[in-house]
Structures are given as structure tokens and as C-alpha cells.
Amino acid sequence: MNVREIVNLKEGALFTVSPNAPIAEAISLMDENDIGAVVVIDGGEVVGMLTFREVIEILARRLKERYTGPTPPILEIFVHEAMFANPPMATLDMDVDTLRRLMLDNKARYVPVMDGKTLVCVISLRDIAKAVLEERTLENRVLKAYIKDWPEKDA
């Protein structure tokens, strides 16, 4: 299985933000669309990913700073301060096992998929799990049907 097959199973829109957008805008976008990540685009190029993990990390860091100095309100935090810069990226022809290794090695739950310089979509670990499950279920059904129709041996 390759990334292209997973992309073909995906539904939904692609959401992006600017690195200079307030993080509150990105959080609202993620909440309103029930998504866990947005792609950060600057000048037409993918420059980062912002996921719920990065949002929690910057909020936790700011809470710790509160005890050592002034803490700016969330409206003063910008996407570029929290984003995962230069995230690992997948290609449409990448093998799923290679993609999983890439995601595990980089602790990335979401990966942009590129077709050359064009952003196609974002793949999550959930998307991979769903695609693998569907593939295994289909294989299982085919094998069971094959075994069921196996010709009996002459006695």
C-alpha cells in the first residue's frame, strides 16, 4: 500500500494558516472543523504544522513563564511561535511502512502529502490505521471466500 491509496480514501477539506496568524485563530479553525492539525503556509510553501500538541506545549510553556515573568495572553501568541517547523513530508508514491517510520522517527501524528510542490492533503496516524484495517479486512474476506470455494479432494 502506498500513500496515494490512503489519499484516495480521505474525505474533507485542507486547512491552512499563516505563520503570522494569531494562534487563537488557528485554534478556532481546528475546533470549528473538528481537526487536529493545520498546515502552516508562507509564500505558497509549507513551512510548518500546527497540531493540538504544539498548542498545548506553548500554553504549558507560557504558564511556567508566568511564575518568572509576565505572560502574554493567548491572543498575543502567533502560529510561528508554536508550529512544528519544516515538518517531515510524504509523497504520493511513498510506501506506507516508510511513512509510518517517518512519522514515528519524527514524533509526527500528522504529515503533509506533497505532489511535487503542491500540497495535496494531510495524513494522520488515524488515516493510516483506517486504510490498513480496510485493506486487511478485504484481504481476509477474499481469502475466506477462496478457502470456502476450494475444491474438495477426491477420496
Q: What's the whole-number average pLDDT of the chain?
A: 87
pLDDT tens across 104-132, in order? 999 999 999 999 999 999 999 988 988 88
CATH 1.20.1530.20 fits 3-148, yes or no: no
Does the pLDDT at position 155 exceed 60? no
Percent of the chain's residues with pLDDT above 90: 59
* pTM: predicted TM-score of the whole model, two decimal places: 0.78
Q: How much is the average pLDDT of 71-99?
A: 88
Output phi, psi for 61, to 5 deg: -60, -40
Helices and strands (DSSP H and E) totals, the chain: 6, 7
Report d(CA 37, CA 17) in Å as an integer: 10
